[in-house]
Amino acid sequence: MRPPVVAGQFYAGFESSLQEQIEWCYTHEYGPGNVPEVKVGPRIIIGLVSPHAGYPYSGPVAAHGFRALAEDGMPQTVVLVGPAHRQTQGVFVDTNKRWSTPLGQVEVDLELTKEITSKAKFIIEDSVAHFDEHSLEVQLPFLQHLFGSGFRITPIIMGVNEMSQEISVKLGNAIVKAIKKLNRDVLVLASSDFIHYGIVYGYVPVTGSVSEILRWIKRVDQETISKIEKLNVSGFFEVLKKYNSTTCGFGPIAVVMTAVKALGAKTRTLKYATSSETTGGGGTSQIVGYASIVFEK
């Protein structure tokens, strides 16, 4: 079993405080406004882009996507695809049988994991690679808050050197083939933040006042998101190159874009905001963009 490694850091470390923190995300000024009730729903959401910073920063934006999921109903399996912040090489699936957080345990869909791996031979089975990675773990409490332990997960992380358009498209297509073969009701979730601006990230392509920098960040992120909304994978990579983008999970986003396009999805951006807005911070040393984007069939 994979234990929680960022509980008490990225999100609250105890069950009661974590429940309260998630509810705070929903009711935050930049959240959707209310804690949702889970419905049976039509199950039309097949993809999601969701941020993965600490809940005080990105949680209110993430809450928009999870409220949409609550209204849409519980999928059988959530394929979690995120960046590996500590490995540059490799695409890794986790073969632990369960993942845990302060809200309980979730089973890994080992059958779907094996099927995806069989169709993308470059994937490496390595639980150790997942051990200290936060990008997938931070999605779980939101999902558990809605669905308990009723769903399963397939965890996949990508090193930055493996996030090429070619590999991302191959992985997205492998996921689609596996879903169809097993006839799974699946949500494919890309865990990613957008522009990371500031000296903390070594990325200061423009300077100016806080408001001027925020306008630049939002303009670049909106240009990036517009390609996501059109499911234009090649255009998405062109924008990333144009700005030398610090969007950390660009490969996972391209994976989801590829998969949902093959499944006939349409896109809706639910919320965009920066960490400067969600926290009320006024500095420019570190500002990150966040978005919740759903893909519906």
pLDDT in tens, 108-165: 999 999 999 999 999 999 999 898 899 999 999 999 999 999 999 999 999 999 999 9
- Residues 250-265 have a mean pLDDT of 98
Residue 281 has pLDDT above 90, yes or no: no
- What is the Rg, in whole angstroms, of the alpha carbon atoms belonging to the chain? 18
CA distance 247 to 268: 19
pLDDT of residue 206: 97
Residue in 272, 277, 152, 135 with CA at minimum distance from that of residue 192: 135
Q: Identify whether the C-beta of residue 18 lies closer than 8 Å to the C-beta of residue 11.
A: yes
pLDDT at 282 over 80: no
**pLDDT tens digits along 197-240:** 999 999 999 999 999 999 999 999 999 999 999 999 999 999 99
If you average pLDDT over residues 50-72, what whole number do you get?
98
Q: Please choose, from the candidates 82, 166, 156, 164, the residue with its C-alpha nearest in 3D space to the C-alpha of residue 116.
A: 156
| Confidence at residue 145, expressed as pLDDT on a 0 to 100 scale | 98
Q: What is the pLDDT of residue 86?
A: 83
pLDDT of 285 > 90? The answer is yes
End-to-end CA distance of the chain: 33
Q: Residue 287: which pLDDT band, with cuts at 50, 70 and 90? A: very high
Average pLDDT over residues 249-263: 98
Q: Residue 259: pLDDT above 90?
A: yes
Please state at what angle helix 233-242 crosses helix 250-262, rounded to 10 degrees.
160
User: CB–CB of 275/189 below 8 Å?
Assistant: no
Computed over every residue of the chain, the mean pLDDT equals: 97
pLDDT at 88 over 90: no
- Say what the pLDDT of residue 290 is: 98
DSSP H helical ranges for the chain: 15-27, 55-72, 110-119, 127-130, 140-147, 165-182, 210-229, 233-242, 250-262, 275-279
pLDDT at 221: 98
pLDDT of residue 156: 98
Q: 227 with 236: CB under 8 angstroms?
A: yes
Instruction: Look at domain 15-194+248-296 and name its CATH class.
Output: alpha beta
Residue 7 tokens, joined: 């509980």
The one-character DSSP state at 35 is P
186-191 and 77-83 strand pairing: parallel
Structure tokens at 14: 């105890």
Going by pLDDT thresholds of 50, 70 and 90, the confidence category of residue 87 is: confident
For residue 26, pLDDT beyond 90:
yes
Question: What is residue 261's predicted lDDT score, i.e. its pLDDT?
Answer: 98
CA 37 to chain centroid, in Å, comes to 22
Provide the pLDDT for residue 193.
98
Confidence of residue 51 (pLDDT cuts 50, 70, 90): very high
Average pLDDT over residues 45-72: 98
